[in-house]
Structure 1
Amino acid sequence: MNILNFSKEQVEEIVKKHEEGMLTEDIKRLMEKYESETGKYAVWRDKVTEGFKKYLMGEKIYDRNKERVSLYVSEEKKNQWQRFLEENNINTISRLIRLSVKHYMENFKNHSFKDEGLSNLSHSLKSPLTVIKGYSQFILQNNLEEISEDVAETLQNIFDKSVILENKINNMLENIKPKNEGYSILLIEDDLATIRLVTSYFKSKNYICKGVVSGSKGLEELQNNKPKIILLDIILPDLTGYDICQRIKKDEKLRDIPLYFLTAISKNQVEKELTEIDPELHPDGFIPKPFDFSDFNILFQHLQG
């Protein structure tokens, strides 16, 4: 990139000419060259950019290999960061962010073994165990005549203990269940206002209700949690309530959860749709929208049971 050397006054004159619509062909070519070399705009929203002004005066311009990353933080957070800068002699917030990201990435890469989780712990145990078990079995099956009775007995003991340890690892992993979030009602509903209303109502009754805005999110929740009741809208952005209801009722682990449609579709229309579906896969009830809070009274039988 050729270095230019326009004075500040000359740059101001170019800006003025641009505003008057009287730019020379030479300056227009410089603008095109600047945009081609840097990937940045010379004019943005009908104003000459600061980057192009610096370019004209010969200041260093970063090319497109570097991109700006923006963050939006509260005023309180910004002031907190600013105090940290002053206390630790760091020049700018940008530098603080770069240092923080670098520190996090280094720690993440070098995190301790205990943070790897049980699945990685299982892998770390099973890898050498597979070798021990495999070699002992191989020798017993293929080289038994070449070893003494004492060695054969020792190898058999190693193999037997390996099998026991392997079974214990497998049982431990099978018995581990994801942490239940501890809510009683799962509401699958795409209207946020309805979610806020229903969750607030049940909170006033000392029950926790969790709302999700799509069918796929609801099914994902049910993989790790088993609420006492499911409230399900029929019209959702991805799956229909009829599809979700059938999936839940087909699942042996979930079919016993009381499921109620919460929908603005008329009861007659819902019943008509259900005639096409196996009765065993029907919901347990129907609550119409707009609803009265007394419509929820039937749910407390399940919540208190």
Structure 2
Amino acid sequence: MNDNHNSFEKSDEMRRYEKETGRYAIWRGVVTEGFRKWQKGEKVYHRDKERVSLYVSDETKSKWLDFTKNNGELTISKLIREAVAAFIESKSNGPQHRLSKLNPQTISNISHTLKEPLTSIKGYSQLLLENYREKLNGQVLETVKNIFEQSILLEKKIINILDNIKVESEYDVLLIEDDLATIRLITSYFESKGFKCKGVASGSKGLEELGNTIPKLILLDIILPDLSGYDICKTIKSDKEWTNIPVYFLTAIAGSEVEKNLGGTKVDGYILKPFNFSDFEIIFDILNKN
């Protein structure tokens, strides 16, 4: 059989290769490398992939070869694939997604650093407009008005970007419990199930922790050295940032007594001590859904 790319008779194996891959088995009278690889059982890319050529200087090539000697085998094509994938991922994630990975204190510091000078700029420009408007000539007045308006726009951007960032939690469960042995036990148990748990030994520390990060769920002792678990739960459920966090009491108080005091706490449930680990099934159901 003759055609424009091949003057040799093709074997049945060659025809099958061309049908499966959409590539030539023979090109300009020479058996193709793709066909040879296919015969050996190696992966052959189909035509939905394109070869990308890259031209570099001898100096760059030399540096690349030296780099691969010190860092193991890494081809240019692999580098391009990884770079393209990283670029696409970075463009898919907006600035708020990247900022959400920062430490909460870092975000707070950035916000504070930007707002401090902005307060003076906005305040002085507003003061000039309110008290000295009649004394300013037209051009200066327009300039001051523009400064004031731009400061308001910048303030809104800071609030929209920095102050509304949902910081990714470093753990799944916040345990507010004053007994250190119980903290160690529950923390180890959650870790054995693939979840991270952070324990704090007082109510005030628990509320402070919530100011830094939002957990998926809170386990809360009722009798604590500083605050009542009932009051802490009310505080959490009345705060717009925390109200949707599931809260479960973990207490040695009798169940009947707990029931009497649930009104107004909006708690999601409770687990009594001494507990069985099977009591935590509902907790894991919530964690897995989140």
Paired residues of 1:136 and 1:156 also in contact (CA < 8 A): no
Name the SS of the counterpart of 1:217 in structure 2.
helix
Establish whether residue 127 from structure 1 lines up as the match of residue 115 from structure 2.
no
1:298 to 275, 278, 282: 282
For 1:255 and 1:121, locate their aligned partners in 2 and report how far apart those are by CA, in whole Å: 29
**What's the offset of the Cα at 1:234?**
0.9
**What's the offset of the Cα at 1:182?**
1.9
The TM-score with structure 2 as length reference comes to 0.55
The C-alpha deviation readout for 1:64-90, integer Å capped at 9, x for no partner, is: xxxxxxxxxxxxxxxxxxxxxxxxxxx
**What's the offset of the Cα at 1:273?**
2.8
For 2:234 and 2:188, locate their aligned partners in 1 and report how far apart those are by CA, in whole Å: 28
Name the SS of the counterpart of 1:302 in structure 2.
helix
For 1:129 and 1:249, locate their aligned partners in 2 and report how far apart those are by CA, in whole Å: 36
Paired residues of 1:199 and 1:208 also in contact (CA < 8 A): yes
The C-alpha deviation readout for 1:118-165, integer Å capped at 9, x for no partner, is: 4134323442454345335644x3136xx4xxxx14531441243223
Establish whether residue 228 from structure 1 lines up as the match of residue 216 from structure 2.
yes
Establish whether residue 284 from structure 1 lines up as the match of residue 277 from structure 2.
no
Match of 1:171 in 2: 157
**What's the offset of the Cα at 1:222?**
1.6
Q: 1:201 to 1:218 in 2, by over 3 A?
A: same
Structure 2: 5+ residue runs without aligned partners? 1-108
**What's the offset of the Cα at 1:259?**
0.9
**What's the offset of the Cα at 1:250?**
1.9
Relative to total residues, which structure has the larger helix share, 1 or 2? 1
Q: 1:153 to 1:137 in 2, by over 3 A?
A: farther
Paired residues of 2:169 and 2:215 also in contact (CA < 8 A): no
The TM-score with structure 1 as length reference comes to 0.53
The C-alpha deviation readout for 1:164-186, integer Å capped at 9, x for no partner, is: 23331353146325855421111
Alignment of 1:177-188 (within 5 A): 177=163, 179-188=167-176
Establish whether residue 201 from structure 1 lines up as the match of residue 189 from structure 2.
yes
Alignment of 1:23-172 (within 5 A): 117-135=110-128, 138-139=131-132, 141-143=133-135, 147=137, 152-153=138-139, 155-172=141-158
Establish whether residue 189 from structure 1 lines up as the match of residue 182 from structure 2.
no
For 1:129 and 1:287, locate their aligned partners in 2 and report how far apart those are by CA, in whole Å: 52
Alignment of 1:250-289 (within 5 A): 250-274=238-262, 277-278=263-264, 281-289=265-273
RMSD: 2.4
For 2:238 and 2:129, locate their aligned partners in 1 and report how far apart those are by CA, in whole Å: 45
Q: 1:117 to 1:225 in 2, by over 3 A?
A: closer
Identity of aligned residues (%): 46
For 1:160 and 1:133, locate their aligned partners in 2 and report how far apart those are by CA, in whole Å: 11
Paired residues of 1:189 and 1:236 also in contact (CA < 8 A): yes
For 1:195 and 1:209, locate their aligned partners in 2 and report how far apart those are by CA, in whole Å: 9
**What's the offset of the Cα at 1:231?**
0.4
Count of residues paired in the alignment: 179
For 2:148 and 2:181, locate their aligned partners in 1 and report how far apart those are by CA, in whole Å: 57
**What's the offset of the Cα at 1:230?**
0.7
For 1:190 and 1:215, locate their aligned partners in 2 and report how far apart those are by CA, in whole Å: 9
For 1:193 and 1:223, locate their aligned partners in 2 and report how far apart those are by CA, in whole Å: 25
**What's the offset of the Cα at 1:210?**
0.8
Q: 1:129 to 1:252 in 2, by over 3 A?
A: closer
Q: Single out whichever of 242-251 and 152-161 deviates more from structure 2.
A: 152-161
Name the SS of the counterpart of 1:304 in structure 2.
helix
Return the letter of the residue paired with 2:267.
P
**What's the offset of the Cα at 1:249?**
1.8
For 1:271 and 1:118, locate their aligned partners in 2 and report how far apart those are by CA, in whole Å: 43
